[in-house]
Chains A and B, each alone.
Chain A
Amino acid sequence: MKGIPQQVEVKANTKVKMSNLANTRKRSDYFWAYLMIAPTMLGLMIFYLWPILQTFYYSFTEWGAFGQYEWTGLDNYKRMIEDTNLIKSFKNTGIYIIFTVPIGIFLSILIAVLLNQKIKGKSIYRTLYFLPVITMPAAIAMVWKWLYNSDYGLLNYLLSLIGIKGPQWVSDPKIALYSLIAVAIWSGIGYNMVIFLSGLQGIPKTYYEAAEMDGAGPIRVFFKITLPLLSPVIFFVSIMSLIGAFQVFDLIFMMIGKSSTALENTQSIVYLFYQHAFVLNDKGYAAAIAVLLLVVILIITAIQFVLQKKWVHYD
């Protein structure tokens, strides 16, 4: 009879020990966890999170010549409504998006589907289409500017062979934006193609075998099987492409001269942001443009998420 309380005591003791052990283990867990996330979290806070708040704050200020600034309330936002340049840049960016995103996605799906067939030389094709992805945008812009050159460019020479007098691709205000769009599509195909290709390879072969048994033709198979099963990937790519297209800068900066007559018809929102922030020292207004860009991107992404319910199939 005496043994029982003792046993209980022993049990209680081990319990205490266990929980002590668990506690020290937990404490060591916390210590390591905080230590391991500290560099990244501090870096993100200093260089990314705090700047978000600061940009919001700056957007209510006006800057002087020596870096001093004063609170001006909603002035910058009021100024936007009447800023024809800003409205123009939204229009330009909109046109750029409307062309580059759908055409880019269409072409990269096309190439990915073709590369997913049983054909020879797949890896060579894949490599070639991927080349622009690894190439510096500054260099891409440089070579395309040369190809587009109205007097000595290859493109206008090729057009002259079939009797067409080529236009001034990058300096004609009516055409320049579309010339940029073509380059953007050209340089983006490879990236999206690789993502679509890995999406296509994730579609189980059995679906295709079943369709073949039913005698469905390739076009029917594409619309009834490939496209629906690829739709989550298409959704992802369209969101990323849209966000990327909203931020177009490098191509415009490199291909359209600062004093070009085509600048007004090509400058994007981010180009205008750069101008105000770092050329005109109009940092308060630039911050307001950045805030507006953030809001517009968030709204459009949210709309895409709502619309996806209608066309994206998850199984």
Chain B
Amino acid sequence: MERARQLVTSKTFLIHFILIVGSIAMVVPFLWMILTSLKTYAESIHVPPVIFPEKFQWGNYKEIFELLPFFKFMLNTLIITIVRTVGQVFLCSLAAYAFARIEFPGRNFLFLLALAVLMVPGQVFLLPQYMIMVKLGWLNTLQAVIVPGLFSAFGTFLLRQFFMGLPKELEEAARLDGCNHFQIYWKIMLPLAKPGLVALGIFTTLWSWNELMWPMIVNSSPESMTLSVGLSSLQGQYLTNYPILMAGSFLAILPMLILFIILQKQFIEGIAVTGGK
């Protein structure tokens, strides 16, 4: 018995040991980001490094707003993220419901077309998408990032799987009551598909907030830049002033961090669902 217990504790110890070493590797970059963002420039390049700044330099956070239209970047990213997420979840769920629950001519063909988009790497769309934006005169506008992001083959596919897994009985009852398909979708199916909608919503939010290449291609003026692009422009200009760079980086990730802390369960389940199916 004694030996068995010892074996169990040493096993648990080993597990915790590995997990803690890994956790440190995960967390240190974030801590270093925050600590650096609160140092003076001199402290940041001191050798050996100063771990804790003598006095928290909150001024670095003020400075980033003076150096760059950082507030504008945040606002742009926020608008883009919200509109894309709400729009995409709505449009994808609408199409997904029809693909999952209504028989209509051409259903399989059209769904196959949507699936084809899933198989193709994003770079294949970029050039023609850019040309469309040029033709529409949408360069350096928020809609250049928002509009292509409203349509998603992935989201349609994901939600279709969800709708297909829901019971048919409720729907039949609603049809006998004379509800049309939109009413069934809106009143019955959407509430039932909530976990799927949340998963897609979280996925789209993360993606829109963090995306770099497309916003960088279409929006290069500070007026319409997103945070990712703003950060990438910062890098060249203030290459050495790391306290300010770190303050900017931390501010850029803070909203997603807060959202993650609030909706942790949904984030992790959402990734498991979107990834696992």
Q: A277–B126 contact, CB under 8 A?
A: yes
Report the Cα distance A234→B28, complex, angstroms.
29
Report the Cα distance A55→B61, complex, angstroms.
43
Q: A51–B124 contact, CB under 8 A?
A: yes
Q: A152-B47, A254-B235 are in contact. Are A186 and B25 (CB under 8 A)?
A: yes
Mark interface residues in B17-36 (1 if CB within 8 Å of A CB, else 0): 01100110111111011001
Report the Cα distance A15→B67, complex, angstroms.
77
Report the Cα distance A130→B268, complex, angstroms.
8
Q: A32–B276 contact, CB under 8 A?
A: no
Mark interface residues in B252-265 (1 if CB within 8 Å of A CB, else 0): 11001101100010
Report the Cα distance A186→B27, complex, angstroms.
11
Report the Cα distance A246→B130, complex, angstroms.
22
Report the Cα distance A253→B228, complex, angstroms.
12
Judged by a CB distance under 8 angstroms, whether A74 is at the interface is: no
Judged by a CB distance under 8 angstroms, whether A262 is at the interface is: no
Judged by a CB distance under 8 angstroms, whether B232 is at the interface is: yes
Q: A33-B107, A233-B276 are in contact. Are A136 and B253 (CB under 8 A)?
A: yes
Q: A130–B15 contact, CB under 8 A?
A: no
Q: A291–B124 contact, CB under 8 A?
A: yes
Mark interface residues in A278-309 (1 if CB within 8 Å of B CB, else 0): 10000100110111011001100000000000
Which segment of A98-106, A111-119, A221-229 sits at the interface? A111-119
Q: B253–A293 contact, CB under 8 A?
A: no
Judged by a CB distance under 8 angstroms, whether B193 is at the interface is: no
Q: A37–B275 contact, CB under 8 A?
A: no
Judged by a CB distance under 8 angstroms, whether A21 is at the interface is: no
Report the Cα distance A113→B182, complex, angstroms.
44
Tell me which residues across on chain B come within 8 A of A240, comparing CB atoms. 275
Q: Measured between C-beta atoms, what is the minimum distance from A8 to chain B in Å?
A: 28
Q: Measured between C-beta atoms, what is the minimum distance from A169 to chain B in Å?
A: 14
Q: A30-B105, A152-B45, A294-B124 are in contact. Are A139 and B26 (CB under 8 A)?
A: no
Report the Cα distance A145→B114, complex, angstroms.
39
Tell me which residues across on chain B come within 8 A of A114, comparing CB atoms. 15, 18-19
Report the Cα distance A301→B229, complex, angstroms.
32
Mark interface residues in B239-277 (1 if CB within 8 Å of A CB, else 0): 000100110111011001101100010011001100110
Which segment of B52-60, B165-173, B207-215 sits at the interface? B207-215
Report the Cα distance A127→B264, complex, angstroms.
8
Chain A interface residue count, CB cutoff 8 Å, equals 98
Q: A135-B256, A151-B45 are in contact. Are A130 and B113 (CB under 8 A)?
A: no
Q: A43–B117 contact, CB under 8 A?
A: no
User: Which of A51, A129, A133, A297 has the largest number of chain B CB atoms within 10 A?
Assistant: A51
Chain B interface residue count, CB cutoff 8 Å, equals 97
Q: A194–B272 contact, CB under 8 A?
A: yes
Q: Measured between C-beta atoms, what is the minimum distance from B45 to chain A in Å?
A: 5
Report the Cα distance A297→B25, complex, angstroms.
32
Tell me which residues across on chain A come within 8 A of B249, comparing CB atoms. 136, 138-139, 142-143
Q: Measured between C-beta atoms, what is the minimum distance from A132 to chain B in Å?
A: 7
Tell me which residues across on chain A come within 8 A of B48, comparing CB atoms. 157
Tell me which residues across on chain A come within 8 A of B213, comparing CB atoms. 249-250, 253, 274
Judged by a CB distance under 8 angstroms, whether A44 is at the interface is: yes
Q: B26–A290 contact, CB under 8 A?
A: no
Task: Show 26 A/B contacts (Cβ-Cβ < 8 Å), sorted by A.
Answer: A34-B104, A36-B181, A40-B94, A44-B114, A50-B128, A54-B127, A110-B18, A115-B19, A128-B23, A133-B206, A136-B249, A138-B210, A138-B212, A139-B249, A139-B252, A140-B29, A143-B246, A147-B32, A154-B49, A186-B29, A191-B271, A194-B271, A195-B276, A199-B276, A233-B276, A293-B123
User: Which 9 pairs of residues, A with B, have the shortest CB-CB distance?
Assistant: A43-B151, A51-B128, A32-B181, A40-B95, A198-B272, A54-B128, A139-B249, A33-B104, A36-B98
- A interface, CB within 8 angstroms of B: 28-30, 32-37, 39-41, 43-52, 54-55, 58, 67, 107, 110-111, 114-115, 117, 119, 121, 125-140, 142-147, 149, 151-152, 154, 157, 186, 189-192, 194-195, 197-199, 233, 236-237, 240, 243, 246-247, 249-250, 253-254, 257, 270, 273-274, 277-278, 283, 286-287, 289-291, 293-294, 297-298
* 20 extra A-B contacts, CB within 8 A, seeds A54-B127, A297-B121: A29-B102, A33-B107, A48-B117, A52-B117, A115-B19, A121-B16, A131-B27, A131-B260, A136-B228, A139-B252, A142-B245, A142-B249, A146-B245, A192-B275, A194-B272, A243-B121, A246-B121, A254-B231, A291-B124, A293-B123
